[in-house]
Structure 1
Amino acid sequence: MEALNHLQSFVLSAEAGSFSAAARRLGLTPAAVSKNVARLEASLGLRLFQRSTRKLTLTEGGERFLQQIGGALATLREAIANAAEEGGQPAGVLKISLAPSFGRSYVVPLLAEFIRRHPGVIPDCHFDNRQVDLIGEGFDVAIGGGIELTQGVVARELGHVRIVAAASPAYMRGRQMPSHPSDLAQLDGIARRSAGSGRLRSWVLRDGQGGEGVAEYRPRAIFDDPEAMAQAAIDGVGVALLPMPHALAPLCSGALIRLLPGWSADSGPLSLYYPGKKLLPAKTRVFVDYLLEQFRQHDFAAQMNPD
């Protein structure tokens, strides 16, 4: 196992370009990773890296060695992980990336039953509103939308998310209900700023029968978080264009009412992402199967696409 640890330290350092990044993925100190690589170099009689205070660069021999062992090491590591599972049962820490609001509302309530079924698996949940590098950051599973399908990443769609217009009953009291997206221009709106570009998002709503219109309103507040937008709409600030995962609960409770029934915009698929490995660790496989089963049983896809 010591030789395997040395090889892992080398491969991850080469992939990340630094001992520090490799150390974070391995749960070691940078000094320990550096020492593992030095011991590997000594055993091979080959210098693998050119080191400097700012940069870690593979030597020519290091490049050749990485090409020769990279894939084989990944397969070996997965085989050892599967063989080491306690009593043949899935086991180990499962690193999961989740959008905060979606994770709290839709995934956390499912974890107790998953843990009961698979007590050897420890979910390690990371709540973050960003698109993670699934492979580079060492995640086993990510749940969200728009994650880049780089080589080695598999996506399983949970549902196609629609954007709908909603407001509180109190805000709409005494106001005329809109019948077309252009009518929203007469109402106060809660705008959303794109976290990536910093620009205000705009949506084209469609009715499924060929009709469409740009949803524009008078901005009264600007947010970069849909959960905060939903709360502001509930509090009567104005109209919000909300993804269905954030609109569903307040619409069902009556805290919000849907404007323009039948009109919506396509926000794209919400998917479950995981590394597409030949030997997928059992802890990942059972979690993926469990979530797909639960979301199917709760008819999540239909709830996200109400029109």
Structure 2
Amino acid sequence: METLSNLESFVRSAESASFSAAARRLALTPAAVSRNVAQLERNLGVRLFQRSTRGLKLTEEGERFLLAVGGGLDSIQGAIAEATANKGEPAGVLTLSMPPRFGRLHILPLLRHYAQRFPAVTLDCSFDNRAVDLIAERVDAAIGGGFELTPGVVARELARAHIVAVAAPAYVARACATAPRTPADLAGLDGIVMRSPQTRRLRVANLRDRKGVEMEAALRPALLVNDPDAICAAALMGMGVALLALADVVEHIERGDLVRLLPDWYLDAGPVSLYFASQKLLPAKTRTFVDFLTAAFRDQRLAQRFSAA
């Protein structure tokens, strides 16, 4: 019978293609991880890794063995965590990742209620505009879009990210003799335009109406910005028209600080999802958070509130 430490050393080394990276996750030394894997190979009588100066690569036998034991190991670890943490009650540190603006506006108010319900859970939140690697970075759950669904990770859609054209009422009164009817009508207006931080290229948006007609939003670049918060701030100051996620500006629209131009047109930028590990027995802290957040979005009809359709 193989020990759990040997199996865990093998699975984590396979996931990261490195004994050193696996050792950091397991709080062991690289030598200890290497010894555990070597002992597993001796016991099985097969070579699981090809070792080189470039790192580790699974052999065919290793790939088959990983498929056989990977999910089972997660289930075993989940069962142990469930049984030992406050008799199955949610406890420990819950590590979360979320986009800064969406997280501050919509997730933090919900987290207050989760923390009140489960006081033994400590919330560790990171606000990042990037797709984190849940497995490698040991993140319990992440909220956002565009994540690659790597083995061991699943996604549950919360809402759609709909991009809409907005401007301050004072700017609309000053710059628009008549209300724009199509994205082409934005060509003569000042645009607060997103610039890619990596390529410095301007981001172009093709909006679509309810009939499926697609048209480029031809804004005239008057202000180039690489931060969505700055774009929103500039729009509120009346500096021009901005293309922003409806979820990020819905409160400003409801208060009348911004108006939505082209109410029949928007860009569907994909889902905003909740990402978490796919193991059958999630730790209680993660399981309760997944259930809590999806229920909150459903009960408060947030997906409908963030929809431009």
Structure-2-length-normalised TM-score = 0.85
Deviates more, 1:55-64 or 1:185-194: 55-64
1:238-257 equivalent positions in 2, closer than 5 A: 238-257=240-259
What displacement does 1:90 show? 1.8
1:87-102 equivalent positions in 2, closer than 5 A: 87-102=87-102
With over 3 angstroms needed to count, the CA separation of the structure-2 counterparts of 1:260 and 1:49, relative to structure 1, is closer
- In structure 2, the residue matched to 1:305 is 307
- In structure 2, the residue matched to 1:37 is 34
Q: Equivalents in 1 of 2:214, 2:78: separation in Å?
A: 50
C-alpha offsets along residues 76-98 of structure 1, whole Å, 9 cap, x if unaligned?
21211111120331223222221
With over 3 angstroms needed to count, the CA separation of the structure-2 counterparts of 1:150 and 1:196, relative to structure 1, is farther
- Give the aligned CA root-mean-square deviation in angstroms: 2.9
Q: Which runs of 5+ in 2 are unaligned?
A: none
Number of aligned pairs?
Answer: 303
- In structure 1, the residue matched to 2:238 is 236
C-alpha offsets along residues 99-146 of structure 1, whole Å, 9 cap, x if unaligned?
111111111121121122112222222221112233343322111112
SS in 2 for 1:200: coil
Deviates more, 1:251-260 or 1:43-52: 43-52
- What amino acid is the match of 1:250? H
SS in 1 for 2:137: coil
Q: Equivalents in 1 of 2:159, 2:211: separation in Å?
A: 22
- In structure 2, the residue matched to 1:189 is 191
Q: Equivalents in 1 of 2:41, 2:174: separation in Å?
A: 80
Q: Are the counterparts in 2 of residues 226 and 243 from structure 1 also a CA contact under 8 Å?
A: no
1:66-215 equivalent positions in 2, closer than 5 A: 66=66, 69-176=69-176, 177-194=179-196, 198-209=200-211, 211-215=213-217
1:18-29 equivalent positions in 2, closer than 5 A: 18-26=18-26, 28=27
- What amino acid is the match of 2:31? S
Deviates more, 1:77-86 or 1:63-72: 63-72
With over 3 angstroms needed to count, the CA separation of the structure-2 counterparts of 1:300 and 1:40, relative to structure 1, is same
- In structure 2, the residue matched to 1:286 is 288
Q: Equivalents in 2 of 1:97, 1:142: separation in Å?
A: 5
What displacement does 1:206 show? 2.8
Q: Are the counterparts in 2 of residues 250 and 256 from structure 1 also a CA contact under 8 Å?
A: yes
Q: Are the counterparts in 2 of residues 7 and 37 from structure 1 also a CA contact under 8 Å?
A: no
SS in 2 for 1:135: helix
Q: Are the counterparts in 1 of residues 163 and 268 from structure 2 also a CA contact under 8 Å?
A: yes
- In structure 1, the residue matched to 2:10 is 10
SS in 2 for 1:258: strand
What displacement does 1:48 show? 6.6
Q: Are the counterparts in 2 of residues 189 and 219 from structure 1 also a CA contact under 8 Å?
A: yes
Q: Are the counterparts in 2 of residues 189 and 220 from structure 1 also a CA contact under 8 Å?
A: yes
- In structure 2, the residue matched to 1:226 is 228
With over 3 angstroms needed to count, the CA separation of the structure-2 counterparts of 1:25 and 1:100, relative to structure 1, is farther
- What amino acid is the match of 2:241? V
With over 3 angstroms needed to count, the CA separation of the structure-2 counterparts of 1:231 and 1:45, relative to structure 1, is same
Deviates more, 1:278-287 or 1:54-63: 54-63
Q: Which runs of 5+ in 1 are unaligned?
A: none
What displacement does 1:25 show? 3.2
With over 3 angstroms needed to count, the CA separation of the structure-2 counterparts of 1:107 and 1:183, relative to structure 1, is same
Is residue 274 of structure 2 the alignment partner of residue 277 of structure 1? no
What displacement does 1:54 show? 4.7
Q: Equivalents in 2 of 1:97, 1:196: separation in Å?
A: 22
Q: Equivalents in 1 of 2:266, 2:216: separation in Å?
A: 11
Q: Equivalents in 2 of 1:68, 1:297: separation in Å?
A: 39
SS in 2 for 1:173: helix
Q: Are the counterparts in 1 of residues 19 and 34 from structure 2 also a CA contact under 8 Å?
A: no
Q: Equivalents in 1 of 2:207, 2:70: separation in Å?
A: 48
- In structure 1, the residue matched to 2:218 is 216
Q: Equivalents in 1 of 2:156, 2:63: separation in Å?
A: 34
What displacement does 1:40 show? 5.7
Q: Are the counterparts in 2 of residues 153 and 276 from structure 1 also a CA contact under 8 Å?
A: yes
- What amino acid is the match of 1:126? S
With over 3 angstroms needed to count, the CA separation of the structure-2 counterparts of 1:136 and 1:36, relative to structure 1, is closer
Q: Are the counterparts in 2 of residues 192 and 224 from structure 1 also a CA contact under 8 Å?
A: yes
